[in-house]
Amino acid sequence: MLPKDPGGLTMNDGRTPHVAVSAELGRLAEAHGVATEYWDQAGGRVRVSATTVTAVLGALGVSAVDEEAIAEGLEQARLRDWRRVLPPVFVGMQGEDRRLRVHVPHGALVAVRVDLEDGTRRQLAQMDFWVEPQLVDGELIGEASFTVPADLALGWHTVVAQTANGKTSGSLVMTPRRLDPDSKLGPRQWGFMTQLYATRSRRSWGLGDLRDCADLAAWSGRELGAGFLLINPLHAASPIAPMAPSPYLPVTRRFANPIYLRIEDIPEFDSLSSTLRARIEQLATTLQLRNETNALLDRDAVWAAKRTALEVIATAPLSADRRSKFLAYCAQEGEGLIDFATWCALCDEFGAESSAWPAGFEHPRSPAVAEFRAEHLAAVEFHRWLQWLVDCQLARTQWIAREAGMAVGVMHDLAVGVHPEGSDSWALQDVLATGVSVGAPPDMYNQLGQDWSQPPWRPDALADAGYVPYRDMLRTVLRNAGGLRIDHVLGLFRLWWVPRGLPPYAGTFVRFDHDAMIGILCLEAERAGAVIVGEDLGTVESWVQDVLADRGILGTSILWFEKVGSGAVRRPESWRREVLASVTVHDLPPTAGYLRDEHVRIRAELGLLTRPVEDEAADAARERAAWASLLIQSRWLDPATDLGTDEGLEAMVIALHRALAASPARLLGVALPDAVGDRRAQNQPGTDQEYPNWRVPLTDEAGSPVLLEDLMDSNGLASALVAAVRPTANPAKPLGW
C-alpha cells in the first residue's frame, strides 16, 4: 500500500515529501473546486499535497506559485460573478423556482426576460432579496434577483437583461425534474453486453460491425425476449494507422468510427460496376478468413481495407433523395462536423499527432486551417460523408432493435474523455484543460491509481461556453440510441486530475457543477427518449448515488463489487433497484476466468500488485468460497458441485446469474463472453502494450472463436444464462430456445 504520513493519512507520493496545503491555498482551491482532501474507497481521509493543488490550479489558469499570487487569485475569484451582468449560462429545473442573480450599477433599473426557443417571450419577476453592493473595479455594483419559474418550458432559451445602457444576454437551459425510466422500460428488462468489435459473424470484415449489432439485437430481442443490447463506445479513432485499440480513448466522443460500417449495406455499393464490386468483395474475403481464428484483432488491417472500399464507393453519385439527406445531416451537425472532417483531412496530410503538424495549424480557426480546408474540400467532404453513412447505419440498427420488440434497443456507451492528440483536443481546446489528465485514485483492483491520458473539461471554460460542446456531443450520441451508459458518471460531479509528471495516485479531485451537467444530460435524454445508466463504481460518496437516482438516472451494480462494510458479500436481494446489474464488467476477466483467478494471475505477471500474490490469491479464494456458500444456501447451486472441474465452473457461472436475477435491479446485463465460456479479459487497467487490451475476439472456453451464427445455433451455456435471468425479466415473451 502507499506510505502513511505522520498523521496516519495516505500521502500522494511516497518518493517525495508531502507538502501541506496552507489555509489561503486551501481557500483558493475551494473557490475553484479543487479538493485538498478526499475520502478513499476504504473510508480513510487523504490529504492532497500542495504540489498537486498548485499544479491543478495552474491547469485552471490560476497561479498559486506564492502568497502574492494566491492573494490575487482569491480577489479575482471573489469578484468573478460581480463583473458579469448575467452568468454565461443559467440552468433551471422544472418543478422548482430558482434564483437568477443579475449585476448592474448600484441603483440602476433592470428588467429581465426569457426568449424561449419557440420564439415566445416571458418576463421574469424580481425577487425581494437584498444583497450588499460591492465595489468592483472602482464602481459600486448591485445585485438584483429574479425568479426563473418552475413551469418554464424545457429547452435552450436566451435570458436578456435590459438596462438604460443597453442589454446583455446569456443562455438559460430549462431541464426536466427527472427522467422517467418506468415509462421507457416497462417491466424489468435483461440484455446482452458485448464489445461489438469482438462480436463477429462470418460476413464481418475481421471485426464486428453495425450489421452484426443489428443481427444480435434482432435475434436476442425477438427470440430471447431481451430488452436491450449494451455495446462499447463507438467513438471515432484516428483515420490513419496506427488506430488506438481502446474504445475508451477516442479522438472524439461526438462522432463515430466508420470502421463499424458494413460496406455491403451502403446503398451506393449496389450501383457500382461488377468489376468494382468484385474488387471490394475480394477485400472482404481476405479479412473474413480471420473470423475463423482466435488471433488478436487487427484494426489497422480492417480499416485499410474498408477505407479502400469506401474510397471506391465514394465515386458513385448519390441519388437526389440521398443527396438531400446528406446535406440535411451536414447542416444539422454544423461547424462541429466540419472541424472533425478537417482534422481527419489534416491527419491524412500531416499524420495523426496534431502537436507535430506544421506551424499555423494549432487552432481550428487559424488562417492556415481555413486555407487548407479550401484547398482540400474533397477530402473534408469525404470524411463528412463517412459520418453520415455511420449515422444512417446507426439509425437502422436501432430501428431493427425496436422492431424486434426491445423496450430500449441499443444502449451506447460514452467514454470519459478523449485522446490528447485527437480531434476534440484540437477542436475543443478552448474548453479542455492542459497539463493534466483524467484518471482514478487507488482502489482495490488498481492499487497505484490510474492515469487515462485524457484532457478533462475545464469546468469554468465549459460554463463560459454555455455547455454547448457538451450538449452537442450528447445530442449526436443520443440521436440513434435507446439508452446511454455514462462511463465513470462520477465525472459529472468531480474528476480525478493527474498533473503531468506526477504518478496517478498523486492527483486530486476537481469539482464540476453537477446540477448543470446532469440537468443538461437529462434534457437531451428526455428529448431523445433514451434511458441513462451511470457507471457509479469506485470511490463514490453515497449522496452522489442519491442525486443520480433522484434525477431518474440508473446506477450500476457489479456482483463482485457488492459487499457490506465488513467485506462480506452482499445478498442480491439487498442491492439497489434503480440500476443495471451484472455479474462482471469489461475491466475484469469473464466470470469463468475470474473464478479461475485470471485477475490475480494477469496482475501478478505484469507487476501490478502492491502486495504478495499469495495474499491476493487467498483473498480471491475467500471471495469465491463466500459466494459459493451463499449460492448453496439459496439453492442456486448444488452443494455437491465440484468447482475444480469445468462442469462445476459452468454450474457456478449459471448460479451467479441466478443470484443476479434475485436482485431488485431494473436492468440485468449478461456479458456475452460469459454466455460462451470465454475466459480472457478484454482490458487490464494500468497497462498499455503489456496486455492486448481491446483486441481479444469472442472465444469459448477452449479459446476457439465464437461467431454470431454459432451463438444463435447453440443450446448450451448461453441458453442456461438466459433462462437464469429471463423469468424475472420479460416473462410475457416466448423463449426462443
160 and 190 assigned to the same domain: no
If one counts the domains in the chain, the total is: 3
Each residue's pLDDT tens digit, 310-360:
999 999 999 999 999 999 999 999 999 999 999 999 999 999 999 999 999
Q: Which of 37, 53, 79 is the last residue in one of the domains?
A: 79
| Residue at grid coordinates 450501383 | 271
Q: Are residues 415 and 496 in the same domain?
A: yes
75 shares its domain with 110: no
171 and 192 housed in the same domain: no
pLDDT single digits (tens) 78-127: 999 999 999 999 999 999 999 999 999 999 999 999 999 999 999 999 99
Neighbours of 371 (CB within 10 A): 11
The answer to whether residues 46 and 163 belong to one domain is no
Give tens-digit pLDDT for 229-260. 999 999 999 999 999 999 999 999 999 999 99
Q: Confirm whether 551 is domain-assigned.
A: yes
Indicate whether 527 belongs to any domain.
Answer: yes
pLDDT digits (tens, 9 = 90+) for 550-584: 999 999 999 999 999 788 999 999 999 999 999 99
Percent of residues, the chain, with pLDDT higher than 70: 96
Global pTM value: 0.95
Cα–Cα distance for residue pair 236/667, rounded to 1 Å:
28
**CATH assignment of the domain containing 122:** 2.60.40.10
* Residue 141 placed within a domain: yes
DSSP 241-284: SSPP--TTS-S-SSSB-GGG--GGGSGGGGGS-HHHHHHHHHHH
CA distance 250 to 451: 15
pLDDT of 365 above 70: yes
The pLDDT confidence band at residue 17, using thresholds 50, 70 and 90, is low
Residues with Cβ within 8 Å of residue 4, at least 6 apart in sequence: 10, 11
pLDDT at 3: 30
Residue 65's domain comprises 23-79
> What local confidence, expressed as pLDDT, does residue 214 receive?
99
Encode pLDDT of 520-554 as tens digits. 999 999 999 999 999 998 777 789 999 999 999 99
Confidence of residue 512 (pLDDT cuts 50, 70, 90): very high
Q: Are residues 151 and 192 in the same domain?
A: no
The residue among 687 and 241 whose pLDDT is bigger is 241
pLDDT digits (tens, 9 = 90+) for 159-186: 999 999 899 999 999 999 999 999 989 8
Q: What is the pLDDT of residue 8?
A: 31
Asked if 67 and 105 sit in the same domain, the reply is no
Q: pLDDT tens digits for 295-318? A: 999 999 999 999 999 999 999 999
Domain with 414 in it: what CATH number?
3.20.20.80
More confident residue, 388 or 611: 388
Residues 464 and 609 in one domain: yes
For residues 39 and 123, membership in a common domain is answered with no
CA quadruple 412, 418, 423, 427: dihedral positive or negative? positive
Lowest mean pLDDT among 144-148, 289-293, 566-570: 566-570
- Neighbouring residues of 54: CB distance < 8 A, sequence distance ≥ 6: 25, 64, 65
14 has pLDDT over 60 = no
**Half-sphere exposure of 117 toward its Cβ, with a 13 Å CA cutoff?**
10
Region 662-688 average pLDDT:
95
Using DSSP's 3-state secondary structure scheme, residue 42 falls into coil
Instruction: Please name the helix (run of DSSP H) or strand (run of DSSP E) that holds residue 495, with its range, or none.
Output: strand 494-499
pLDDT greater than 90 at residue 632:
yes
Specify whether 46 is located in the same domain as 154.
no
282 vs 270, 277, 279, 308, CA distance in Å?
A: 15, 9, 5, 12
Predicted confidence band of residue 9 (pLDDT cuts 50, 70, 90): very low
Cβ contact 16:501 at 8 Å: no
Are both 409 and 539 inside the same structural domain? Answer: yes
What's 128-148 look like in SS3? CCCCCCEEECCEEEEEEEEEE
Has residue 674 been placed in a domain?
yes
